[in-house]
Structure 1
Amino acid sequence: MTNITGGINIAMKVPSHQYEAVIAFYRDTVGLEPIPEKLPAVGFRLGPNQLWIDEVPNYSHSEVWLELFTDDHAAALGHLAAKGVVRCDPVEKLGEGFRGGWIMNPANIVHLVRTPDAW
């Protein structure tokens, strides 16, 4: 079996009408350290993880998306498919040559399964 581990990125998909308030919550109320290297993306350091706040104009409620790392994304995605895991690649384009894909857990939480650039 292919090795799959937890990734470092957590994406919070937030409707436009809540976006600025959510950013202010993590920046001003909670006081998390911003991640300025990836501007205009808005992110905060969340312990060993990175929390990314993504504005999604057509959403009515927020969602949390998680990341899984693997040394072989094709084998990992094949293993997960064989176990009946739902692929959901149309949720967000990953770009040409991206080494990964989107899946959903049984509660419809989106996960990015990918081989990190450093591997």
Structure 2
Amino acid sequence: MTAQITGGIDIAMKVPSHQYEATIAFYRDVVGLQPFDDKVPARGFLLGPNRLWIDEAPNYSQAELWLELFTPDHEAALAHLEESGVVRCDAVEDLGEGFRGGWIMNPAGIVHMVREPDAW
């Protein structure tokens, strides 16, 4: 039996510093998405049922998009993914002590957070 994994609600866009303010202005002023600031310094926008987080990434040369996956058991899900040959990439961003999840990368190089949601 494989671990239960579903789509999460967070999408993170890592944007280089030289493009950061213009990207924020694009989603706020041009597209007109509703902004929120729950996790400063990250800035967020409501994107339908999802949340789009715009993170400034000073060391990046181009933007990256990171996705979130939910599971009721992160250890089982991450073990299943590793057994299936999925690359773990926990070094991309520290999640802190006790965080119930980890980072993986799909075959195209897109980073995914696999985590237990705050309330399952």
TM-score (norm 1): 0.97
Distance 1:35 1:67 in 2: 19
Q: Which amino acid aligns with 1:111?
A: H
1:1-119 aligned at under 5 Å gives the runs 1-119=2-120
TM-score (norm 2): 0.96
User: Aligned Cα RMSD in Å?
Assistant: 0.8
Segments of 4+ moved more than 4 angstroms:
none
Distance 2:112 2:101 in 1: 10
Offset at 1:46?
0.1
Distance 1:36 1:86 in 2: 32
Count the aligned residue pairs. 119
* Uncovered stretches (5+) of structure 1, i.e. residues with no partner: none
